[in-house]
Amino acid sequence: MDLEEIAQVLDAVSRFVRERLVPNEDRVEAEDAIPHEILDEMKAIGLFGLTIPEEYGGLGFGMEAEARVIIEVGKAAPAYRSAFATTIGIGSQGIVIDGTDAQKERYLPRLATGEIIGSFALTEPGSGSDAGALKTSAVRDGNDFVINGSKRWITNAPEAGVFTVFARTNPEEKGARGVSAFLVEADNPGITIGKTDRKMGHHGSHTADVYFDDCRVPETALLGGKTEQGFKTAMKVLDRGRLHIAAASVGIAERLIADALAYAMEREQFGQPIAQFQLVQAMLADSRAEAYAAHCAVLDAARRRDQGEDVTELASCCKLFCTEMAGRVADRAVQIHGGSGYVSDFKVEQFYRDVRLYRLYEGTSQIQQLIIARRMIKQVS
Ligand code: COS
């Protein structure tokens, strides 16, 4: 896509956010579901195919264009983005980056239209931050692999059509090296989806455990046709995913700032709008400055990724800074709203809960710090 076409998509997405997503936010929160008609509209705009290559029916957006779209969509309740985010991100990028031609042909066209939802099954009850310690096993049996184990908090598991599942094929190797990735279809009789988790926020976006009980898949389900490459695939996918979450954090921060400013201009105390008070202005100004820095950082790292740079360190810098920034901005937005920020009549109460997740998933802030520092040390040793 050329720049003009990307600008047209961005324009359509901005309009969609204002006219369709924001007005339906209370409904999504109350019903814990994205309305079907909105999902259909997302598919029609191309959101489910945003990052899938054009030859497989997607829009083929690079990282910068994706980040720009996600900043826009991020200005509405986070559950909307989550509906398509795993399909364009962690649930498809393993196939895009490392899949065989046959795997690409089998899944990418249906992912791009939203006909099937892609999901990413890495985390387990016993392995979260230490992803390489996962215990789910995949044992070769003739031309098949048999998968056993369980996965935890898997986003979009109840809706998924295909899971990228990480399982240990080499039991001798306890760490990251023994892990392989498989594409497992949700209608496989060896899969059971647990009950949908009750969460602090992100209502309308569903997570659940996924259980594999003698789940038999053909060897063609092995991602890229190679064993023991799964952990690297996961890390490559997460490099992109972390920039995506950073962009989403920028979007929600910009929304919270706009809402807090509007409230501060309207709410009067001591005979004047509270926006006239310097202590309120300080909260607005700090939020604006931090969101601006975060916006610039995520676009810079995204552009570098598009130019072929290794952005592992920068992706972690962006994930760390942008998600922590969104947490601070949400906290100030509640403070500016005062008591109104603590009741659910205004959206800040919900967004305050929603943004908390950004500092946890796709690697906690502490994991990002660890990745950044490890890279810094490696560069000088
Ligand atoms: N791209 C490509 N390869 C990568 C990579 C990346 N971004 N990051 C690591 N690798 C490779 C390493 O080079 C290493 O390869 P070799 O075995 O050939 O040396 C291999 O992967 C293992 O890497 P490492 O030794 O760094 O693994 P660790 O077990 O120490 O784990 C962390 C590293 C902690 C960074 C990783 O487990 C992690 O990201 N944890 C968080 C998981 C997460 O985000 N979970 C959220 C689930 S999705 S919602």
Residue-level pLDDT at 2? 84
Per-residue pLDDT at 3 = 86
Task: Give the closest residue (by CA) to ligand 1 atom 25.
Answer: 176
The domain tally of the chain equals: 3
Domain final residue pick, 90, 113, 136 = 113
Percent of the chain with pLDDT over 90: 99
> Measured from the CB, is residue 371 less than 6 Å from ligand 1?
yes
Give pLDDT, residue 1: 76
Q: What is the dihedral of CA 26, 351, 164, 130, to 10 degrees?
A: -150
173 carries an active-site annotation: no
Contact yes or no for 331/287 (Cβ under 8 A): no
Positive or negative: CA dihedral 20, 25, 31, 32: positive
Weakly modelled stretches of the chain, pLDDT under 70: none
Q: How far is CA 217 from CA 55, 148, 165, 166, 182, in A?
A: 27, 11, 11, 13, 8
Q: Are residues 241 and 273 in the same domain?
A: yes
pLDDT at 96: 98
Extract the tokens encoding 70: 């996600």
Taken in order 335, 339, 344, 347, the sign of the CA dihedral is negative
Give me the pLDDT at residue 294, please. 98
| For ligand 1, mutation pick of 82, 93, 232, 319 (most atoms within 8 Å of CB) | 232
38 Cβ contact partners less than 8 Å away, ≥ 6 residues apart: 20, 21, 24, 80
239 lines ligand 1 (CB under 6 A): yes
* Cβ–ligand 1 contact at 334 (below 6 Å): no
- How much is the pLDDT for 90? 96
User: What's 325's domain CATH number?
Assistant: 1.20.140.10
What pLDDT score does 244 carry? 98
Mean pLDDT of all residues in the chain? 97
Domain boundary among 207, 228, 249: 228
Helix (H) / strand (E) element for 141: namely: strand 137-141
Contact 245, 358 (CB under 8 A): yes
d(CA 196, CA 199): 9
SS3 168: strand
| Residue whose CB lies within 8 A of the most ligand 1 atoms, among 98, 134, 151, 231, for a mutation test | 231
pLDDT for the residue 30: 96
Question: Which structural domain, as residue segments, surrounds residue 310?
Answer: 232-380
